[in-house]
Amino acid sequence: MSTDKKEFRKQFWSAKKMVGSITPSSRYLTKKMLENIDFNNTKVIVELGPGTGVFTTEIITKMSKDTILLVFEVNDCFYNNLNNTIKDERVYFIHDSAEKIEDYLSKYNLDKADIVISSLPLAVFPSELREKILKSSKRSLNNHGKYIQFQYSLQSKALLKNLFNQVKISFTPFNFPPAFVYTCSK
Ligand SMILES: C[S@@+](CC[C@H](N)C(=O)[O-])C[C@H]1O[C@@H](n2cnc3c(N)ncnc32)[C@H](O)[C@@H]1O
Q: What is the pLDDT of residue 21?
A: 79
CB 103 within 8 A of CB 29: no
Alpha helix stretches (DSSP H) within the chain: 3-14, 16-19, 27-34, 54-62, 76-85, 101-107, 127-140, 157-163
Structure confidence by residue, pLDDT tens digits, 33-78: 999 999 999 999 999 999 999 999 999 999 999 999 999 999 999 9
Residue minimizing CA distance to atom 18 of ligand 1: 97
For residue 8, name the pLDDT band (cuts at 50, 70, 90).
confident
Q: Output the CA angle 157-163-165, nearest 5 degrees.
A: 95
Q: How far is the CA of 47 from the centre of ligand 1 (A)?
A: 10
Domains, the chain, ordered by start: 3-185 (3.40.50.150)
So what's the pLDDT on residue 101? 98
Q: Looking at ligand 1, which residue's alpha carbon is closest to its atom 24?
A: 19
- DSSP label at 67? -
Evaluate whether 120 touches 48 at the Cβ level (below 8 Å).
Answer: yes
Tell me the pLDDT tens digit for each residue of 74-120: 999 999 999 999 999 999 999 999 999 999 999 999 999 999 999 99
pTM for this model (two decimals): 0.96
Which pLDDT band, with edges at 50, 70 and 90, does 17 fall under? confident
Q: Which atom of ligand 1 is closest in space to residue 50's alpha carbon?
A: 6
